[in-house]
């Protein structure tokens, strides 16, 4: 991913943010609103996953064009998502936290899901 930061947010944090938008339509009508809890590189995501799981997780440093050829369902779609992130989409971390002050960081979210995450490894 060329060390490009990727936006991330827990699905459970989206609802309260959207509710805030719906409660203030005059402030947001006609605007494109990009939500993000934080922007992390793949290496930063891997470091957090390593810290939480106690296992070494590394950035494979695989470009999207190689990733899309991997032999599993969804590889092409994921590669398309990675290509999108390389375009550095406009997401507003500060606005997200204003709309939902309880928005979790990736590490906070992963700590909450630690047991399921470790089991999935």
Mean pLDDT (the chain, rounded): 95
Percent of the chain at pLDDT > 90 equals 83
**Structural domain boundaries in the chain:** 6-120
Long-range contacts of 28-33 (CB under 8 A, 24+ apart): 32/90, 33/92, 33/95
Question: CA 85, 8, 35, 89: dihedral to nearest 10 degrees?
Answer: -10
**pLDDT at residue 108 tops 90:** yes
Mean pLDDT of 19-30: 97
The reported pLDDT for the residue numbered 101 is 99
Least confident of 47-61, 81-95, 104-118: 81-95
Mean pLDDT of 80-98: 91
* pLDDT band of 3, cuts 50, 70, 90: confident
Give residues with Cβ within 8 angstroms of 60, minimum separation 6.
none
Two structure tokens written together for 57: 């997780």
**How far apart are alpha carbons 43 and 57 in whole angstroms?**
9
**pLDDT at residue 1 tops 70:** no
Mean pLDDT of 81-88: 85
The reported pLDDT for the residue numbered 86 is 84
* Continuous H helices in the chain: 11-23, 25-28, 42-53, 64-67, 75-86, 93-99, 106-112, 114-120
What kind of fold does domain 6-120 have according to CATH? Rossmann fold (3.40.50)
């Amino acid at each position: 991913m060329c060390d490009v930061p990727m936006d991330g947010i827990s699905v459970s944090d989206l609802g309260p943010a959207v509710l805030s938008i719906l409660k203030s339509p005059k402030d947001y009508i006609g605007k494109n609103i990009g939500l993000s809890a934080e922007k992390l590189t793949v290496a930063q995501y891997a470091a957090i996953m390593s810290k939480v799981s106690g296992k070494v997780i590394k950035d494979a440093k695989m470009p999207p064009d190689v990733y899309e050829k991997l032999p599993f369902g969804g590889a092409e779609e994921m590669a398309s998502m990675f290509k999108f992130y390389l375009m550095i989409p406009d997401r507003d971390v500060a606005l997200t936290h204003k709309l939902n002050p309880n928005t979790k960081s990736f590490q906070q979210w992963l700590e909450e899901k630690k047991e399921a995450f470790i089991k999935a490894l």
